[in-house]
Copies of this chain bind each other. A is one copy, B any other.
Amino acid sequence: MLCGMAKNEVKIRDKMITSRRLIAAVGSLLAREGFKGVGVNAVAREAGVDKKLIYRYFGGLPGLIGAFGKEGDFWPSLLELAGGDLQAFGRMPLEDRLSAFSRNFIAALRRRPLTVAIMAWEVVEANELTRELEAVREERIMDFFRMFFVSELPDEDRQAGIMIVGAGVNYLLIRSGHIDIYGGIGLVTDDDWDRIAAGIDRLIEGLIG
Binding site for B on A (CB under 8 A): 36, 120, 122-126, 138, 141-142, 155-161, 163-172, 174-175, 178, 182-185, 195-196, 198-203, 205-209
Contacts and interface: CB of A to CB of B under 8 A. Distances in A.
Interface of A is mostly: helix
B165 A203 contact: yes
Nearest to A207: B206
A17 B122 CA distance: 38
Contacts of A169: 164, 167-168
A151 B141 CA distance: 37
Nearest to A203: B161
A178 to B, nearest CB: 7
A161 B36 contact: no
Contact of A195 (B156, B172, B174): B156
6 contacts: A142-B184, A158-B202, A159-B184, A161-B200, A164-B185, A205-B206
A161 to B, nearest CB: 4
A125 B166 contact: no
A75 to B, nearest CB: 14
B199 A157 contact: yes
Contacts of A183: 138, 141-142, 163, 166-167
Contacts of A170: 171
Contact of A120 (B123, B142, B208): B123
Contacts of A195: 156-157, 160
Most buried by B among A123, A167, A170: A167
